[in-house]
A = this chain, B = another copy of it.
Amino acid sequence: MQIAILSFFHYFTPMFKKRENVFEVEEGKFLSPKFDVDGLIPVVTTDCKSGDVLMHGYMNEDALRKTIETKEAHYWSRSRRSLWHKGKSSGFIQKVIELRIDDDQDSVWMKVDIGDGASCRVGYKSCFYRSVPFLKIENYNKVKMNFKEKKKKFDPKKIYKNHSNPTKL
């Protein structure tokens, strides 16, 4: 019975190439992504113009397939536990310009075009809007960061009216 269910699943869900040997994964031409125990692969998203890292997220197999086929960034939302077509509610769609995978094919890099838009739910263009100082730190409890973006691109209260905040303590 279990075999029947698995076969059924495979029939309707096209799978990426099986990871058969290390040389092929690292030096080969075929896409064989490695998803972790939760079925996810980490994704780095950069701005195609500035090169700035906009966000760090995750994809499941379906999100990766949809990104490849639509050229619009799809992620897996770990907080909502669902497929996440970025920008569907906020309007800030990410057009994917280039998609790359790393040597052992366990992480993905996307260059995206967001025009003059934003990527961060807090309202900034990049999620990485604060920088950490380099110092011999005396008190780790008080490492004071600098804001690299001075002004928000949008007011999150207006855009995400009924959404709960996904940030976990």
Contact = CB atoms under 8 A, between A and B. Distances in A.
A50 interface: yes
A44 B102 CA distance: 12
B16 A141 contact: yes
Looking at chain A's contact residues, the main secondary structure is loop
Q: Please give the count of copies of this chain that the complex contains.
A: 2
Interface string A149-169: 000000000000000011111
A167 to B, nearest CB: 4
Contacts of A129: 100, 103
A100 B167 contact: no
Interface residues of A, number: 68
Interface of A: 14-22, 25-27, 29-31, 34, 42, 44, 46, 50-53, 55-56, 65, 68-69, 71, 96, 98-104, 107, 109, 120-122, 124, 127-137, 139-145, 147-148, 165-169
